[in-house]
Structure 1
Amino acid sequence: MPDPRSSSTGLLAAVSAYGLWGLLPVYFIALEPTGPVEIVAWRILLSLVFCLIIIAATRSFPALRPLVVDRRILLLSAVAAALIAVNWHVYVYASVSGLIVEAALGYFINPIVTVALGVVFLRERLRPAQWCAVGLSIIAVIVLAVGYGTVPVLALALAFSFGFYGYVKNRMGPGVSAVGGLTLETAWLVPLAVGQLLVLAGLGALTAGTVGPGHTVALALAGIVTAIPLLLFAAATRRLPLTVVGFVQYLNPILQFLFGVVVMGEAMPLERWVGFSLVWLALIVLSTDAVRARHHSRRRAAPPPVEPV
């Protein structure tokens, strides 16, 4: 029997993680006039600092050593670092450029991209409902592309970069903790972050410490803002079934979508409503199928009833 307290804690952690991720555009916009390149650079450096502080406080350095000497883990963490760097740059750019709704579309599409990656790389066989969800998503992208006269590049970049990131993290295995994985990934990205900051400083475009004390403090929180949702997510996945986590993940793009439309006033012409509606329909089909499949597997795994003597 699952522990009700553990499940409640896990659900709270999952809602908190995806809720914080959904509100990230608010934080990035509050950092104006800092641009996306500088925000991501500080996010990388300060995330590494925050992770090292956590490791030091919990005396977890011995657990980090096996990861550092494992060539396979190091290689996979380097690939994951490259993917998350792309994701962060695109996401922050979308947030500060008034393209929050398109970013939300990317995270709505992400679960379907994950299913497609399972077919391509893991040779998984899709059920009819899953094929239907993938087909609806492709139609949605076509509708949006035709309506806008261009492919939603930012949304697809977010969906595929995070989808491949999740795949690589899965290949790393459960032995790599959230803190350990983020530590390795940000360590790989330090040269990139330092290079970006040096270029901005050379151009006279560095904003850190030049806008005001409030802005400086907000920018200094980039590491905490990045790491805390990830740690909450790790806590949730250890306490909840993946189907529950899968449902909660939609909180992130829903909050982004509402923020973009209601607060920032982004346009929602007919073709965008049609495209989003198709994606939402695909997610309903995918989620319903996942629940049915889980229920069916539980029934098959249950012991046969005992016949009365």
Structure 2
Amino acid sequence: MQTTSSKTVPHGASTKDGNGATYGFLAYLIWGAFPLYFNALKPAGAWEVLSHRIVWTLVVCLVALAVTRNLSFLRRLAASPRQLVATSLAGLFIAVNWTVYIQAVITGHTVEAALGYFLNPLVTVGLGVVVLRERLRLMQWVAVGVGALACVYLAIDYGRPPWISVVLALSFASYGFMKKRIGGSLTAIESLTAESAVLTPIAIGVLIVVGMTGNATFNGHGTGHSVLLLCAGIVTAVPLLLFAAAASRVPLVTIGMLQFITPILQLLCGVLLLGEHMPIARWIGFAIVWVALILLTIDSLTAGTRARRLARAAENCAI
């Protein structure tokens, strides 16, 4: 009778997973500290910050691609109208996300912005149902329902819908949807380069208008302020590349668990470091959102465990 030998872990696999988790943690840690960075850019307005972010991100990406001799992808992208349109739409969605987020931070609404990224997984699931006609499991329906309840509760508490949170969640979920349509044909830095290239002419136009109206802050607020604006490209590109390195090394479930680091840190930045007021009633609203996220996480872990069990069973049957 043939016996099955125990599986050995591939050499370096545990190290690879460990490195991947570290890369993911660092990416979400940097994103979580963004409120402090954007708050430090005052008195620059959201449009000026956004424009510098786009322009210098493109510069950083082009330099990195030139060093690695990988600029030829631009010709491939230009030769594929469908992919070019999808990339352009992705760039527009992330530009909306960046603009609203920066405006939220510099106007003292970091906590409401953090809520948007807590809501993002729930909105992504909802987008899958509406756009992709995906079928949800019972636990996913419950999670989405609890998330909707939280939005209604917070709208009553704010005296208005939490527009900042909703727009951030919708724009980022839409960005993720377009990235899924693009697929794996572009690496993380290639995709960011293409998105920045699409937006750069608009960004340059905005900078010209800001300068003509006398609202530009790049040259009039000291060397430190100018350097901080110049660093916008590095600040944007580094966490994205760390995230790409993590996503290629660790399971999706791990990435899903790590993603909550960012809104938690953003919330703490808003309340503890930027002095934003958080009444008890609002904490209750956030708690309802967290219940929805816990349900979604449990469902994801359960589904992942079930899929691995079925895969092992199929493999054993094959043996």
TM-score (ref. length: structure 2): 0.94
Could you tell me whether the CA contact under 8 Å between 1:78 and 1:188 is conserved in 2? yes
Q: Deviations over 1:70-116 (max 9, x none)?
A: 11110001111110110010000011111000000000000011111
Could you tell me whether the CA contact under 8 Å between 1:143 and 1:271 is conserved in 2? no
Q: Indicate yes or no: 2:83 matched with 1:79.
A: no
| Letter aligned with residue 96 of structure 1 | I
- Segments of structure 2 that go 5 or more residues without pairing to the other structure are 1-8
With 40-49 and 1-10 compared, the bigger mean Cα shift is at 1-10
What does residue 299 of structure 1 align with?
Answer: 309
State the 1:286 CA deviation. 0.3
With 56-65 and 18-27 compared, the bigger mean Cα shift is at 56-65
Could you tell me whether the CA contact under 8 Å between 1:208 and 1:219 is conserved in 2? yes
Q: Matches of 2:74 and 2:25 in 1, distance apart?
A: 28
What does residue 217 of structure 1 align with?
Answer: 227
| Letter aligned with residue 9 of structure 1 | N
Question: Quick one: which of 7, 10, 19 aligns to 2:29?
Answer: 19
Q: Matches of 2:281 and 2:138 in 1, distance apart?
A: 27
SS at match of 1:252: helix
Q: Indicate yes or no: 2:162 matched with 1:128.
A: no
Q: Indicate yes or no: 2:250 matched with 1:240.
A: yes
Could you tell me whether the CA contact under 8 Å between 1:108 and 1:250 is conserved in 2? yes
Q: Matches of 1:306 and 1:105 in 2, distance apart?
A: 45
Q: Matches of 1:289 and 1:46 in 2, distance apart?
A: 40
Q: Deviations over 1:218-262 (max 9, x none)?
A: 111010001111111111111111111011000000000011111
Question: Quick one: which of 133, 142, 152 aligns to 2:152?
Answer: 142
What does residue 236 of structure 2 align with?
Answer: 226
Q: Deviations over 1:14-34 (max 9, x none)?
A: 001111011011111111111
What does residue 73 of structure 2 align with?
Answer: 63
State the 1:304 CA deviation. 6.0
**Equivalent runs, 1:50-199 vs 2, <5 Å:** 50-199=60-209
The count of aligned residue pairs is 307
State the 1:265 CA deviation. 2.2
Q: Matches of 1:119 and 1:91 in 2, distance apart?
A: 26
Q: Matches of 1:76 and 1:304 in 2, distance apart?
A: 37
What does residue 43 of structure 1 align with?
Answer: 53
Return closer, same or farther for 1:207/1:305 CA change in 2, 3 Å cut-off: closer
With 120-129 and 222-231 compared, the bigger mean Cα shift is at 120-129
Q: Deviations over 1:25-48 (max 9, x none)?
A: 111111111111100000000000
Q: Matches of 1:135 and 1:66 in 2, distance apart?
A: 43
TM-score (ref. length: structure 1): 0.97
- Segments of structure 1 that go 5 or more residues without pairing to the other structure are none
Q: Matches of 1:276 and 1:37 in 2, distance apart?
A: 29
What does residue 6 of structure 2 align with?
Answer: none
Moved over 4 A (4+): 304-307
RMSD, aligned α-carbons: 1.3
Q: Matches of 1:146 and 1:153 in 2, distance apart?
A: 13
